[in-house]
Structure 1
Amino acid sequence: MHPVNPLVVLPRSYSVGAALVAVVLWSVAPLLADLARATPPLQLTALTLLAGSLATLPLSRRVNVATCGHVWQLSIWLGVPLLIIGAVSTYFIGMRLAPAAEAALITYTWPVLFVLLSQWSRFGRLRIGGLVGALIAFSGAALLLMPQAGGGGGSDTAITGYALALLAACCWALYSWLSQVAPVPLTPLLPRLLLIACVIAAAASALLEGQLALPSSEAVLTGMALGLGPYGIAMVAWDKALRWGHTSLVGSLAYGVPILAALLLVLAGMSTLDWRLPIAAILVVTGCVKASR
């Protein structure tokens, strides 16, 4: 998202309210993804992106991508949809192989990776603040791996899930970086980019998962909820909050997403609360704040 502020700033309560809507919906995403474990991940990805494309239609407006070079046109129309598919599908798979709250927390390290990418591309080096923030955030992620390091049933599967969650974080960071450096704004193109990603994900599902039959009603409902909420309405609300509000205040609210997401999973009985989870959440959030400052 591009934090574009107009000349007239609406009341702070408006932007904060819109940002809180986005934060709550993003926090619900791990819970919905965990409820959809029975649905093949690529099929769920396609359904989610289809609903997200419909929900983000209010953001759509005409953008002349033809003025960009051929490399940028390929990056926008193919690279960005592939990054979106990678982010969403590896997130879904990672949460099935590893404990949901822990996998979600690792995915939410993506702001640190985005800051490091931005610093490297802009200054040709990494700043100390960004490196310190990354070390703090990833120490929280490493804390989640400690019980798995000693071996035990299913530890290899859990570590694979954590690796996929980290891959999802990398995809989100690259997507955000492309949104920042692209010669044209990507937000108005989001409905079309999500639709392209949906078509690719559906083709991959048919090829790799053999899902030629119509999806179950449960899969449709869950995919629609994910697409309309975390990947739809939340995107629209966040865009409005950044455009019409106080960017620094709105941006700081996003750091509550990993903590709220983990709390919802624990309250729903889908994750077990132990001493690692709250400490790791605090470290991840602290690292993100430190890096972004």
Structure 2
Amino acid sequence: MHQIHLLTQRYFSVAAALVAVVLWSAAPLLSEQARGLAPLPLAAFTLLAGALATLPLSRRQPTGHLSLRWRLAIWMGLPLLTTGAVSSYFLGMRLAPASDAALITYTWPVLFILLSQWLTFGRVRFASVLGALIAFAGAALLMAPEAGRSSESSLIGYGFAALAAVCWALYSWLCQATPVTLTPLMPRILLIASVVTAAAFVPFAEGHIALPDNTTLLAGLAIGLGPFGIAMVAWDKALRLGKASVIGSLAYGVPVLAAAFLVLAGMSVLDWRLPIAGALVVGGCLQASRR
């Protein structure tokens, strides 16, 4: 009976991770539809929508028994990492080609593996270092100047995409390390992140905020409900119930799916660098997760 329960948990964790992967893959396409709103207001709006989307899953879960360090990590660290990840992601998508920025952002699984190994065992395996070098070579291929394509704006966008990757890696590790499940706390975490993001935008608002059109509003709402709402809950469940190596490896398909969605929608041009970079990123992540 216990083995059946473990097997059910394993399949459920994989299914939850796949839900998150598909929703995350749709995020670049939806963010292109939401260009009518500046990156920081868009981030604040999507995080608010995510908080509302996860509200039915919320229940009171006391955290007072946790040490001060863990309470700060949950109520300050996670919202700040979420703010950094989502805001940097949208900034990267605006300043650099969307498919390139998405691919760079989704080098975070290999960063997650390196971080987990270092903090758990105090060392990083050679296979993981080699995988990281391969994955980062794919990201570097996109950032290499070619016929004036990589402008100064694009390079800044690549930097924001890399920052988003670091934030997502730290966020995933913290989600896995916390001694309590985060699903009941997710609405409050996302709401705090939304408030922080909105506050960060206020100095740049110059006294007015333009109302978004219907397309932008619907796209932003879809991002909040899906990639930054349901997907984050599904990912937390997957990390809690499944093996980190298996669950992390499923995230490697996100940049490939995201690029495919953008190309199929006619919002990105498929040149020779994108598939090669995608293969390097996915191959590097697989190499890094080898036992």
TM-score (norm. length: structure 2): 0.88
Task: Look up the equivalent residue of 2:288 and give its one-letter code.
Answer: A
**Which amino acid in structure 2 is aligned with residue 259 of structure 1?**
V
Alpha-carbon displacement from aligned partner over 1:18-68 (angstroms, at most 9, x marks no partner): 544332211110011122222111110111001111222344333332122
**Alignment-derived partner of residue 259 in structure 2:** 262
Tell whether 2:137 aligns with 1:120.
no
Query: How many corresponding residue pairs?
Result: 287
User: Shift of residue 153 of structure 1?
Assistant: 6.7
Residue number among 141, 144, 153 corresponding to 2:142 in the alignment: 144
What is the distance in 2 between the residues matched to 1:181 and 1:12? 19
Aligned to 2:77: 79
Q: 1:57 aligns with which of 23, 37, 55?
A: 55
Correspondence list, 1:1-293, <5 A: 7=5, 9-10=7-8, 18-148=16-146, 152=148, 155-210=151-206, 212-213=208-209, 215-218=211-214, 219-239=216-236, 251-293=248-290
Residues 1:230 and 1:159: Cα distance change in structure 2 (over 3 Å): same
Query: 1:48 & 1:198 partners in 2: Cα distance?
Result: 8
1-structure distance, mates of 2:174, 2:105: 18
RMSD across aligned positions (CA) = 2.7
CA distance in 1, matches of 2:193, 2:219: 18
Task: Tell me the TM-score normalized by structure 1.
Answer: 0.87
In 2, the alpha carbon distance for the partners of 1:164 and 1:277 equals: 19
Of 74-83 and 133-142, more deviation after overlay is shown by: 74-83
* Cα drift, residue 185 of structure 1: 2.9
Q: Secondary structure at the match of 1:147?
A: coil
Alpha-carbon deviations, 1:138-166, whole Å to 9, x = none? Answer: 01001112235x7x376111111001000
Unaligned 5+ residue runs, structure 2?
none
1:185–1:236 Cα change, 3 Å: closer
Alpha-carbon distance in structure 2 between the residues aligned to 1:96 and 1:255: 23
The secondary structure found in structure 1 opposite 2:145 is: helix
| Letter of the 1:70 counterpart | L
Judged with a 3 Å threshold, the aligned counterparts in structure 2 of structure 1 residues 176 and 269 are, in CA distance, closer, same or farther, namely same
Compare 28-37 and 228-237 and name the one that shifted more.
Answer: 228-237
